[in-house]
């Protein structure tokens, strides 16, 4: 949160989150063969674990494990396959790492089994809409949940996304996700919102959201922003996915200026420096 506003704080699974004082870095760990940026690189358990350790060493505060690619045009993964990909990684990381483990899933059964194995957070790209049992699962465990906005599904979301007012419509969707979590019994402060950069948005929609991030802060929740290596950066700069580091850095710094509490990134070491500088300027916070 901006300086002068109350800090959102809560504890879960032995970890304390204090949003508002500094920006948290969420490192992306895709245990998939086909994710847009790093598909196949960490599909093997040992390589996935090695990648997670290196991200923590580089400064990641949270590791976000995903077992299903949600790139534009992707198909859903069957439940049993997602469980097979995710659970061994979560179990090992929860036991061996001293940072919270988030699981990027919209399936309640994946969330339940991951939380039973030590996961700390659920990151639902559908904002608790895809699986009606998800609000009940996160409420039963009392874990923090990321409620993200998406228009359509990963398969069709980029075909022709249109809005009358993208920020107003995304805010309305996020408010409904907050309501679903709270009505299921999850304390409101444990709901983190994500406007879903790149999920059913054009380049101009993404830029408008980033320009108006402070309007999302008015909802009173911790705010996560995920811009890392995304296609709108590539389209603006005419660069392939592996050359979007500096474009990502610009979006991360400006997201923090707009009020982001968590930034979700692939290049943790480089973005750690961006976060440190942005926090010093925006929040007056000096990282150790």
Instruction: List, for residues 112-146, the tens digit of each pLDDT value.
Output: 999 999 999 999 999 999 999 999 999 999 999 99
What pLDDT is stored for residue 147 in this prediction?
Answer: 98
All structural domains of the chain with their residue ranges: 8-282
Instruction: List, for residues 253-275, the tens digit of each pLDDT value.
Output: 999 999 999 999 999 999 999 99
3 state DSSP class of 160? coil
Helix (H) and strand (E) counts for the chain?
10, 10
Q: Which fold does the domain 8-282 belong to in CATH?
A: TIM Barrel (3.20.20)
Global pTM value: 0.94
Instruction: List, for residues 232-254, the tens digit of each pLDDT value.
Output: 999 999 999 999 999 999 999 99
75 or 231: whose pLDDT is higher? 231
3 state DSSP class of 81? helix
3 state DSSP class of 265? strand
CB 64 within 8 A of CB 104: yes
Q: CB 202: neighbour CB atoms within 10 A?
A: 17
What pLDDT is stored for residue 149 in this prediction?
Answer: 98
Report d(CA 173, CA 176) in Å as an integer.
5
Determine which helix (DSSP H) or strand (DSSP E) holds 75, and give its type and residue range.
Answer: none
Instruction: List, for residues 156-178, the tens digit of each pLDDT value.
Output: 999 999 999 999 999 999 999 99
The residues, ordered by sequence, that sit 6+ positions from 225 with a Cβ below 8 Å of its Cβ are 194, 195, 197, 210, 213, 251, 252, 255, 258, 260, 262, 263, 264
Catalytic-residue membership of 47: no
Q: Which of 190, 230, 244, 272 is catalytic?
A: 230
Span 199-221, average pLDDT: 97
Catalytic-residue membership of 112: no
């Amino acid at each position: 949160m901006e300086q002068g506003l109350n800090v959102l704080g809560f504890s879960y699974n032995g970890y304390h989150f204090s949003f508002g004082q500094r920006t948290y870095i969420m490192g992306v760990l895709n245990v998939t063969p086909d994710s847009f940026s790093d598909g196949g690189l960490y599909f093997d358990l040992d390589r996935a674990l090695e990648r997670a350790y290196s991200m923590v060493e580089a400064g990641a505060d949270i590791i976000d494990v995903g077992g299903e690619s949600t790139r534009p045009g992707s198909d859903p993964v069957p439940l049993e396959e997602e469980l097979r990909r995710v659970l061994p990684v979560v179990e090992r990381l929860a036991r061996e790492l001293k940072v919270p483990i988030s699981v990027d899933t919209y399936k309640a059964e994946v969330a339940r089994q991951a939380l039973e194995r030590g996961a700390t957070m659920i990151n639902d790209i559908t904002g608790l809409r895809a699986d009606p049992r998800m609000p009940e699962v996160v409420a039963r465990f009392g874990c923090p949940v990321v409620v993200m906005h998406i228009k359509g599904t990963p398969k069709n979301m980029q075909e022709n996304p249109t809005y009358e007012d993208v920020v107003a419509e995304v805010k309305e969707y996020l408010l409904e996700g907050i309501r679903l979590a709270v009505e299921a019994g999850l304390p409101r402060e444990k709901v983190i919102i994500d406007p879903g950069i790149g999920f059913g948005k054009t380049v101009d929609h993404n830029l408008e959201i980033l320009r108006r991030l402070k309007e999302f802060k008015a909802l009173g929740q911790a705010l996560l922003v995920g811009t890392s290596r995304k296609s709108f950066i590539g389209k603006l700069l005419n660069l392939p996915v592996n050359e979007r580091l500096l474009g990502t850095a610009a979006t991360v710094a400006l997201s923090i200026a707009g009020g982001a509490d968590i930034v979700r990134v692939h290049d943790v070491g480089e973005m750690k420096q961006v976060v440190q500088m942005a926090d010093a300027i925006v929040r007056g916070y000096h990282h150790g």
